[in-house]
Structure formats: C-alpha cells, structure tokens
Structure 1
Amino acid sequence: MPENLSSPRLRVLFAGSPDVAVPTLRALAERHDVVAVLTRPPARRRRRGSDEPSPVAVAARELGLQVLEWPTLRTPEARAAVEELDVDVAVVVAYGVLVPAALLEVPRLGWVNLHFSLLPAYRGAAPVQWAVRNGDELTGATVFRLETGMDTGPVIGAMTEVVRPRDTSGELLARLSVAGAPFVLRCLDALAAGTAVLAEQPTDGVSLAPRILPADARVPWTAPALAVDRFVRSMTPAPGAWTELGGVRVKLGPVLPAWATRRGGPPEVPEGLEPGEIAVTRTGVWVGTGGGAVELGDVAPAGKSWMRASDWARGARLEPGARFDWSAAGSGPEVSG
C-alpha cells in the first residue's frame, strides 16, 4: 500500500489516550487537518499525586489542537458535537471509551481503528501482552473499520512485526506504535481514493486478549522456566510482575532462564529448586519453577526503588529454603512452556 502524497487533506477526528497513540496523532497532524481530539479525562496516574491529563491530551495541546476530554460518547450532546465537527474520518488508537453505534456512521469514511495485533487474533484490550506471554514469534498491527462488535470490523490493511526473543510488552508496543503511524496514513490514502479493499475478518484464528489487571500479574512459579520468563516480560512495564515473600510484595523485572545468553560466560545454576524457592549463588539470585530455574534481574521491594537482585538478597538476609509464595498466581488461560 504505497504512500500517496497527492491524496487530499482530510478533516480528521482523532481518539486516543495513552503514549502509544501519540505517534499516530502527530503523523495525522502533519498530513491532515485534525479538527479535534477525543481522549480520556484527567486521572490519577501515580499512587501519590493529583489527576493528570492523558499523554494524548498533552501532545494535542502542544500541537494547538482542540481537546475533548469526555468520559462517555453516549449522550445527545456528544453526538451533536461530533456531527458539528463535520469530519471525513475518525481515527482511533487505544482510546479506552466505547464508540456507540449512533456515532459510527457520522464521519463520511467511518471510524478507523489501529489495533496492535493481526486480527482476528487477540481481540481486546491487551493484544501485545498476550502475544509476548504466549511466545508468539510474529505479530503486527491491523487497521480496520469500527463496528459494534469488539475489534470485529472489516480490515483495511495489516502490517507485521517480529517479536524479538527478549522483548517486553512495552518494547514491542513501542515499536508497533511507531511503525503503525505511517501505516495509518497509507490506509487513509486508500480510503480517500476509493481504492481500499475492505476484507471481512475470517472466522478461523479468533482469539481474545482481555485486559490484564495488577492482580493478574502475580508470577506463577509452578509453570516451567520458559513460561515464567514470558509471563514476566509480558507484564513489563505494565501492570508489572510481582510475587510475595513472607506476605510482602516484591516487584520483578525480566528474568533469565538458565539457558539464556549472558555476559561473562555460563552461570552457576543451582539444581533441585522447588517452585518459588530462592537460592543465591556467586553469579546471581535464582528462583525455582515448575521446570528449571530463572535468574532474577531487577527487583523492587514494597515501598522501595528498583535495585539489582543481588543487592536485594543481601539486604533481605534470606534464610536457607526461603521461598516466594505462588498461590493464586497467573490468572487467565493456563500458563505452559
């Protein structure tokens, strides 16, 4: 789908909220007339602090764009306001607010959504987290026209992205958000020119990617080492993997299975560790899983900053046989290697 620099400038309504939506907003503002930006209202984004505007709201104001921070679009006033904007198309990237059916037909070219998976795989709020957790080697992004179903609309185009072996969900999502911005422009060019071929999503290959809450990010130490590695990377940076030691929560950064490549040569790997059991060796801090062991990277004990696992272990004064609790961990589909 080559870029058409001679395509007309469209009147665009943009809807998005988090950081990953900002690249598309900036790309649209360079090529088209973004007449208004819909985003989530200000909210508390840190444990201690006041309500803050969304990253999209901040970027939109820097660009001098009109910002509409509405909690819902299900009001007569919202419909009237959108109709008055007289836009050609609405572009959605991780907006977080349901678009009611009454608004879908208002823009001439409809509502176009950038979704970070190869639909129909991973319909839902957390496609990238689930792709990393499941060990996918290839993912991508899909541009499709919104309809009333969840991520079920006809596809305008799709792009692929390789999942690197040590990707966290944050790293993969950042790449997709940057690559997806110019791809949205190309899809809009095709829509405006009348050359876009909208394809219905196949019925085979449908999977869901439900939202992952902090309670879901507890590390399942009974899973094999490979699955634990993927699980922790999928929860990084959000909502953040965690476990408990003696009833006290400990946050975990990415871990390394014993076979993973390291600087400094092969590690000293303890044998026979039970799931969740901690062992400190000359080369690192290890935790047993349901199959093999993983080496801890950075950790953040409750109320403290991130630190190297070796520094944490010295300060924690671990007793022999100390063990992370793994009860009720890893909710959702079964975690396997």
Structure 2
Amino acid sequence: MRIVFAGTPAPAVPSLRAVAASAHDLVGVVTRSDAPLGRKRVLTPSPVAEAADSLGVPVIKADRLDAEATAAVETLAPDLGVIVAYGGLVREPLLSVPRHGWINLHFSLLPRWRGAAPVQHALIAGDRTTGASVFQLVAALDAGDVFGEVRYDIPRGATAGEVLTDLADAGAELLARVIDEIAAGTARAVPQRGAATLAPKLSIADGALDLTRPADVVLDRFRGTTPEPGAHVGIAGARLKVLAAHRGPDTDLAPGVLSVSGKDVLLAAGEGTTVVLKTVQPAGKGAMAAGDWWRGLRLDGPRVELPGAQVAS
C-alpha cells in the first residue's frame, strides 16, 4: 500500500520508522511547522520531521489539516493514512482521501482516555494499567472501531514521559501488524465498549500539586505531569518545579510544611503523609538536588514562614 503518515512529537517516531521499514511504500509525512524552542527560541523541526528527513521521505509541514494540506496529501495518492500524535484533527474531505481511510495509534485502552493527553490523565487518575489502541479514524473524537490493542502495566513510580516511551515502542509494533492485516484484507475492527473518559490537553495550572491531598494522590499528579507541563509547588511566591520525588515517611507536620532530614527535603501532604523532593528547579534556574536548593535558602532560626508554604528545620 501507499501510506501517508501524520505525526509530530518524539513518541510518534518509532511508528514512523516502523512504517518506513515495512513492506509498504511510505510516500509522505505530514507534521506541524517548525517551532521555537529553548531560551533563544530557535526554530526547530519536529522530531517526526527530523526522522522523515533522515529517511529521505517528503515532508508536508502544516499546523492545520486544511484545504492546502488536503490538496498536498491528495497528490500522494495514498491507500492508507496513519496518524500518531499529530496534534490536529483530520476532517472531511481529507478523512476520505486514502482508499482505506485513516488509522490512529492512540496511547490508551479506548474508550478510556479519549483526547490529547491520555497517558498523563491515566497517571493522574491513579490507573495502574493502560495501553495503546489502533482504531479507524472517524469524525468523532477517538470514537472509531478498534483493530487491536496492547495492554501495559504501569511501573511503580514511572512518569508520563517514561510510560510514553514504552508505549511508543509497543504501539509501533501493534501499528505495523494492523497495517499488514489491512493490506491482506484480514483486519477486523470492533466497536469500542464501556464508558468513555476524556483526556484534554493539560495546562501549566494542571501541574500544581495540592498538598492537602495524601502523598499518593500528590505523587500521581506529579508523575502524570512530568515532564510536561511540569509538576510544581508555590514557594516564597515563586513556582518551584518538582523534577524527581517519591513517597516519604509519615509525619505530624501540617500539609505544606517543608522540612529537611539528612539530604532529603520533605514536603508534608495530607493525612500525615510526606513527599520526598529529590530534584527541583527554581524559577529562572537550572535543575538541582533538592538538598542544594534547601541550603541555598539560607534559613535563619528553627522555623521560618515563607509566603505560600511553611518551612521547618
């Protein structure tokens, strides 16, 4: 088959490479336009664009799959469209351009967590199992019939970034198998069953850690928002980004109190629990060990109150 691939971030690259390595003809790649990255805001191609360039595959850069993008895809005469985390919706008439339509690799067990951030929401909700699904793309959000899925037990302590890396590889294998089955005429898709839950895109505000909740709930949100959009707490009127953390010992300190125990910085949470801060990033600075950050506060006295948090020593 002639296949056109649409995707943008790093988790889509294993699928792109799997399609390129298949017996099918990868005739083009659609990805979002170069984006400004880093402090200097340098325009940088997407990970999918860079991978496609290394494979020698023609690239169509489009932030929306509009009439211009549709016309560009039509010239490729694809038999099948494949989309993995492109970052935009495929609507008619583009939806019907490929002879077999479009299939989507989605990083959840549908219909749970339809939307832009399925892995993040799964971790925030405390799910212990997730997976990846390949389904037939339809006009409704992530609602098409499912060709196949792979289940994944979430490792204890894994962040959204780590889970996505694993699912990107497992999902690429599933996707390649489904493509072969479609080509052979043996693919069978079944309707989604069960209640749908939604996983909308996260904002910076979604990374705020609510210290009135128990530590396990706090850590679920930390893992679900790491690395993006970033977990954080408010300290001294500024946002302290939390890069690495785990469950700590029980305490009698009130939620929101910071204390130090050896090299560890403990953050008291609800119900007498604590979170151990291991690596943090203060506003305007680089990542550092939480203990180094604590020493840099240069606290005086046995107890100091900071706006937005309490600090005990």
Task: Find the aligned partners of 1:288 and 1:323 in 2 and give their Cα distance.
Answer: 15
> Matched residue of 1:101: which SS?
coil
Alpha-carbon deviation of 1:325?
2.9
| Correspondence 1:225-304 to 2 at 5 A | 225-258=215-248, 271-291=251-271, 292-304=273-285
CA deviations on 1:183-238 (whole Å, 9 max, x unpaired) are 10100111111111111112x23111111111221111111110011111111111
Q: Choose from 64, 73, 84 the match for 2:65.
A: 73
Change (3 A) 1:199 1:246: same
TM-score, normalised to structure 2's length? 0.93
1:81 Cα shift?
2.3
* Percent of residue pairs bearing the same amino acid type: 45
In structure 1, the residue matched to 2:13 is: 22
Please point out which of 25, 42, 60 is paired with 1:50.
42
- Counterpart of 2:223, as a letter, is R
What runs of 5+ residues in structure 2 fail to find an aligned partner?
Answer: none
Amino acid at match of 2:283: A
SS for the counterpart of 1:255 is strand
**Count of residue pairs brought into register by the alignment:** 305
2:308 partner amino acid: D
Shift of 1:283: 4.7
Match of residue 325 from structure 1: 308
Distance 1:283 1:205 in 2: 46
8 Å CA contact 1:276–1:324 kept in 2: the answer is: no
Q: Would the alpha carbon gap of residues 61 and 233 (structure 1) be closer, same or farther in structure 2, given more than 3 Å must change?
A: same
Q: Which residue of 2 aligns with 1:223?
A: 213
Give the whole-Å Cα distance in 2 for the aligned partners of 1:97 and 1:186: 25
Q: Indicate conservation of the 8 Å contact 1:11/1:34, yes or no.
A: yes
Please state if 1:211 is matched with 2:191: no
Residue 124 (structure 2) aligns with: 133
What CA distance in whole angstroms lies between the structure 2 residues aligned with 1:243 and 1:274? Answer: 15
Q: Residue in 1 aligned with 2:75? A: 84
Match for residue 161 of structure 1 among 152, 160, 185: 152
- In 2: Cα distance, 1:44 partner to 1:305 partner: 20
RMSD (Å), alpha carbons:
1.5
What is the aligned partner in structure 1 of residue 163 from structure 2? 172
8 Å CA contact 2:83, 2:103 repeated in 1? yes
Structure 1 unaligned regions, length at least 5: 1-9, 260-268, 327-337
| Deviation string, structure 1 residues 76-112 (Cα, Å, up to 9, x no partner) | x333322221111010000012211211111111101
Deviation of the 1:175 alpha carbon: 0.2
C-alpha distance in structure 1 between counterparts of 2:106 and 2:225, whole Å: 19
Separation in 1, partners of 2:299, 2:234? 13
C-alpha displacement at 1:274, in angstroms? 1.4
How far off is 1:273 after superposition?
1.5
Structure 2 distance, partners of 1:258, 1:243, is 17
**Structure 2 residue 31 is matched with structure 1 residue 39:** yes
* Structure that is richer in strand per residue: 2
TM-score, structure 1 as length reference:
0.87
Structure-1 separation of matches of 2:263 and 2:135: 49
The alpha carbon displacement at 1:35 in A equals: 0.6
Between stretches 78-87 and 162-171, larger displacement belongs to 78-87
